[in-house]
Structure 1
């Protein structure tokens, strides 16, 4: 048994993550347009026919801008917490919304998707664990600090999308105003490269085969900086730095270490 994963886009310009088996798949967030989602999946050899649901982490536009069109066109249910839904402008009359609650698994075919709370400056933010046949894939982005909810689920993962939003020095020396730097680096902001590495080093399970670093800042980070930071510590885990401009490859997560 395997799960197949890809980042279709990752960054403040849009976030969308694909997780599925051979029969069905889910999208975690839909922060790029329907057309761009279709194009990127087509280039990867993935079909929207396998996507059975969309799960929304929180209401910020870079996570929901494509929801309306995708859900309508493909008649997809959208799983979202009531608190998050109240803070969006999504049309409740045109989309089938399903209530999402922390620690209540949702079955999508043979996939099980469990949401759990996280710390971020949104109404009711959640991260996700997608499971199939004993294989777990976590989506951990837009996190101010790795709380116990995040740590407990990270420990279960065979693969994970993990936020590495900013480099401390680049943020401190950059052009952002002070209040924005404080928001980004605060407990309800985003995860730094160093925080992401500490989470990986202290809580990585022995069976983690893939780590996709996600939601990199355009101005306060670079793929090479974060890749160099992680490189000495990877052992058997394959590192991928997700792009804010293009999809990653599709990675097969089997739970079998090579």
Structure 2
């Protein structure tokens, strides 16, 4: 039976690869590599560089596929994402049927951890449930940008006895959660942090964490928000892509 490996490759630094992930790389016959255009070629190249560094057991094939784009104009966000995932699922079905032999192992290389704000696992599960093609799959966890962010800033995500909320820029824009001590934000292309006006709020921010072009900033949000916005613009201009994460929380009393 076909086997699919969904491998977490960490937040950007090849040294974030776990032994389990490296072993998984060496099991795969075919790697499915998403192509998101020239602007994001760096993401594709980093995946290939990881394979070149760690694969020793065999000479696998690399199948590049164009990722369908999500509609930019919509009224229902979740329905829009569902349609987008359905289009990607059709790409997966075709690739598994045409590019992967009955007894071969295919692999996806997922930034960070496959279980955290990534669609690959969900799409693979839906394809398997549809019965359109038979396969088995396995998840290999990876070091997420959240873990790497905390390590880079030399902080703990939680304070003693307090909770941590992981959310998105879209959800943060609706309302800042009042019941979480620390809030980790991902997928914030709109830089929602800049709209928060709270003199006591601290931010620990990082972009392209682990990559050579990594940028970090921290401090009182009111003091560094403009700096972060400028750094983000520069990074996008120079590299074509930005993947950032940040932690927000109130400064300690005293």
- Give the alignment's TM-score, normalised by structure 1: 0.29
- Which structure has more RCO (C-alpha within 8 Å, separation ≥ 6)? 2
- Give the alignment's TM-score, normalised by structure 2: 0.29
